[in-house]
Each structure stands twice: as C-alpha cells, then as structure tokens.
C-alpha cells in the first residue's frame, strides 16, 4: 500500500513538472492593430508605361496617371458592393490568432500598452487589400494585400519603436476582371484566401524568429 502511494506521488510530481514546463514554454504575443485596410483595385495603372514621359515629360506622366487612377476608381466602385467588408477581421486576424495559439503562443489583443508584461509585441498596420493586374499580356488579376508590421520582445518604449516591415502578398489564382463581376463572383473567396495566406506568413515569421 505504501509502495502504491509512493508511485502515485511520483506521478503527481511528474504531472506538475510537465504542466509547469508547458506554462514556461508558452510565449505571449501582444497584438495591436493600428488603422484599417482599404479595398483597392489596381488595373489600368498596371498598364501605364513610360510613353507619357517620352512624349510630354513629367507633365504627361502626371496626366496619364490621373486618368488611370480615375478608371481604377470606377472599377473599385463596381466591386466594392460585392465584398465582405469584415474580411480583414474575420479572416486575417482570426487566422493569425489560430496559427499562433496552435504553435504554443498565447495571443493577447490590446488597445494600448499599459498592461503589457514581458512578451512579444506585434504591431500591425493594415494598408490595402483587393485586386491587382498581375499579367499585362492577358490582363488577368489576382487578389492581393499589403500591410506593415513590427515585432519585438520586451515591454519598454524603446522596444516598441521597431522598424516596420512591408508585406505584399498575392494569391496564386488569376481571373479576368469580368469574372469578378459575374453572378458567381469569386471576389470574396479570393480575398479570404489571400488574407489567410498573409496571416500565416506573418505568424510563421514570429514563430521562427523565436527559434533562432
């Protein structure tokens, strides 16, 4: 009976040590989102070349750029009613959270840094998400997203002022612009796919950086 009690005590101690080790291995990532991503279409601007500069110098380039921007704006207005405006939150941020937690991190969303303790501070600056022409010969477009991010260890003000890294992610799938306006438009599925891809890439960068 005494021997059984000793075995049970040893098992309890081992479980306690294992739990303590897991807790110590858990890293906290404090995530702060600054700003919101804007939907954008880059189509006609991708077709702009240096012809304006040759013909009329910088003035010609400026006029041409303004014309192409207006045409892209009209395309954006055509697609915007079709998109899920919560994609950045529901796909990018949820995927980032799930990826970090599945890798042993404790993701904490913050609005200010007053309550931050030791851990990794991740600041994300959403920029754009939408569709961009990726092949000027076929005029095919792909979903894309751009954002900036900085991360560092510690809770001091000095550590928070890290250099921002630019991220530009495009989805592999390509579509014609007319496909995006079709009844069974792939607009939302493509945007969600590229946002998921971007979130996983950012999460992996943090995960791998802690192993170096």
Would 99 be classed as within a structural domain? yes
Torsion of CA 42, 61, 137, 39, to 10 degrees: 0
| pLDDT, position 3 | 41
pLDDT per residue as tens digits for the range 57-99: 554 555 556 678 889 999 999 999 999 988 888 899 999 999 9
pLDDT per residue as tens digits for the range 26-44: 588 999 888 888 999 999 9
Would 177 be classed as within a structural domain? yes
| pLDDT, position 87 | 84
Would 48 be classed as within a structural domain? no
Give the whole-angstrom CA distance, residue 183 versus residue 173.
18
**Among the listed ranges 41-50, 55-64, 117-126, which one has the minimum average pLDDT value?**
55-64
The tally of domains found in the chain comes to 1
Task: Flag whether the pTM goes above 0.85.
Answer: no
Q: Is the pLDDT of residue 172 over 90?
A: yes
Would 133 be classed as within a structural domain? yes
Q: Which helix (H) or strand (E) holds 186?
A: none
Torsion of CA 144, 108, 125, 115, to 10 degrees: 180
pLDDT per residue as tens digits for the range 156-168: 455 455 789 999 9
pLDDT per residue as tens digits for the range 182-204: 999 999 999 999 999 999 999 99
When the pLDDT of each residue in the chain is averaged and rounded to a whole number, the result is: 79
Domain of residue 133 covers 27-40+85-209
Running DSSP on this structure, what letter comes out for residue 131?
Answer: E
CATH classification of the domain holding 152: 3.30.160.150
Q: Distance from CA of residue 13 to its chain's centroid?
A: 42
């Amino acid at each position: 009976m005494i021997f059984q009690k000793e075995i049970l005590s040893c098992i309890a101690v081992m479980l306690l040590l294992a739990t303590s080790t897991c807790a110590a291995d858990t890293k906290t990532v404090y995530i702060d989102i600054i700003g919101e991503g804007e939907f954008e279409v880059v189509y006609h601007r991708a077709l702009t070349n240096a012809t304006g500069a040759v013909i009329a110098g910088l003035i010609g380039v400026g006029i041409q750029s303004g014309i192409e921007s207006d045409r892209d704006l009209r395309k954006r207005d055509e697609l915007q009613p079709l998109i899920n405006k919560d994609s950045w939150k529901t796909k990018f941020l949820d995927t980032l959270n799930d990826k970090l937690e599945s890798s042993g991190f404790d993701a904490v969303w913050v609005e200010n840094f007053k309550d931050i303790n030791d851990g990794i501070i991740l600041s994300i600056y959403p920029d754009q998400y939408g569709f961009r022409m990726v092949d000027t010969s076929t005029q095919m477009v792909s979903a894309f997203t751009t954002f900036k991010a900085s991360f560092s260890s510690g809770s001091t003000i000095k550590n928070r002022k890290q250099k921002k890294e630019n991220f530009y992610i495009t989805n592999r799938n390509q579509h014609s612009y007319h496909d995006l306006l079709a009844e069974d438009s792939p607009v939302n599925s493509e945007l969600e796919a590229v946002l998921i891809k971007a979130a996983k890439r950012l999460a992996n960068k943090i995960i791998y950086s802690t192993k170096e």
